[in-house]
Every structure is written in C-alpha cells, then in structure tokens.
Amino acid sequence: MIDPIEQSIQVRNQVSKNDKRKYYRFRKTRFYGGCATADCLGCNLRCAYCWGQKKVWNPNKYGEFYTSREVSQKLINMKLPLVRLSGGEPTIYKTHLLSLISLIPEETLFILETNGILLDEDFAKELSQFKNLYVRVSLKGVDELTFEKITGAEGKYFNHQINALKLLKQYNIKSRAALLPDFFTDEQIKKLGVSNLEYEQLITYPFVIKNLEKKGIKIVRK
C-alpha cells in the first residue's frame, strides 16, 4: 500500500531540479475544443487503469527538465485559447506549478488536471490568486474502499480528494470533479453526492485490462 504523501516527496526529488520540472510531451489536443497541453512526469498514485503509467511512473527513464518559463512559452506558442497541464500529477512540485500558471496570460484559461490529494488549504489559497484557473479533480473511487482498490493507496486519502473539491469551492476557484464511471453502479455514483460530475473515458489498452483483472476490478458498465 502506498502513502501518496511520502510518494509525492520521493517523486518530487526525481522530477524537479531548481525551478525545472520533468515533462515528456507538449501537444495540441482536441480536449475542451482544442487546447495546448503539457504532460508532466511523476505521480503519487498507482491507478490500475493508468494508461500513461509506462512513462508517468518512470520519470528517471523518460522526459526532460524544463523551467516554468520554457513550458509557458511552449504552450503560448501553440496559439490556442486554452492551456492544460496533465500527464502525471502536476501538484507534486508546487513552486514550479504556481510559477507556470503566473506566466500564462490572464485571457487564456489554464486547466489544471489533478487528483487533488495534495490540495490543502494553503495550496487552495495560493491557487485562488489566478482568475484564469480551472481545476479538474479526477476522483479515483466513490468511497475509501474503491479508492484503495483502484489507486493502491490508503483509502483515507479519498477524503483528500473530496476535501480538495470543498476547498476549491470555498476559495472560489472554478472547478469540477471527474470520474471514470465504468466501475461503479448508478447507485454508488449517486451516493457519492458530488454534483456536476464529468465522466472520463476508460482507455482499454490490453495492459489496462490486465491490471484491472489482476486487482479484481470489474467493469460494470458497457
């Protein structure tokens, strides 16, 4: 069982160097109607369905270090109305993240995709200064038990995800929760009690299916 807080510290050491953070890809994507996307390396969870795991979980083997200014320039140069930070877990290196958001022009919406585990009150306060920020919190379960099974992390950290959503609301940061619904019944999702959920899509690579089978996680929706 992993402790995502300890995991974050270990991973931060691998993916950060001064202001630099490791990324493995910069691309134009069709998401949200077209956005410039930077994919970072390193994560504090081990989700059974993680399609990017080969790279994201092995930051020593892949990617290159970039300063926040270099990343912002790459994103701005794509000349799209939205920018997005995705891939691994962007909050693992807070200093770099805050610096990066500050370098994106205010008229460009900055979409931060996160699992929210590290998003405590201080972090939320710091994020609240950015009016062009939109945070998408990807929930990894509908309760502690399902979170634990999916992520390999202690179930209690599911509450960090829920708390992150509350803090984002409290600090008036535009946000939305997302969930991969394939493993849950309507009843379970309803019980979760999170409104305006965005549904993510399961990418059924053979290794993903194998991982799910190994962990006994069943797809309950077709």
Q: Does 148 bind ligand SF4 (CB under 6 A)?
A: no
Residue 128 vs 154, nearer CB to ligand SF4: 154
Residue 54 vs 69, nearer CB to ligand SF4: 54
Task: Kindly report the three-state secondary structure assignment for every residue of the chain.
Answer: CECHHHHHHHHHHHHEECCEEEEEEEEEECHHHCEEEEEECCCCCCCCCCCCHHHHCCCCCCCEEECHHHHHHHHHHCCCCEEEEEECCHHHCHHHHHHHHHCCCCCCEEEEEECCCCCCHHHHHHHCCCCCEEEEEEECCCCHHHHHHHHCECHHHHHHHHHHHHHHHHCCCEEEEEECHHHCCHHHHHHHCCCCCEECCCCCCHHHHHHHHHCCCCCCCC
Residue 14 vs 128, nearer CB to ligand SF4: 14
Interface of this chain with ligand SF4, residues 38 to 77, rule: CB under 6 A: 43, 45-47, 50, 52-53, 56
- Minimum CB separation from ligand SF4 for residue 48, in Å? 9
Binding residue for ligand SF4, selected from 39, 70, 89, 148, defined by CB under 6 A: 89
Q: Does 88 bind ligand SF4 (CB under 6 A)?
A: yes
Applying CB under 6 A, the site for ligand SF4 has a residue count of 11
Q: Does 118 bind ligand SF4 (CB under 6 A)?
A: no
Residue 106 vs 213, nearer CB to ligand SF4: 213
Give the interface with ligand SF4 as residue ranges (CB under 6 A): 43, 45-47, 50, 52-53, 56, 88-89, 115
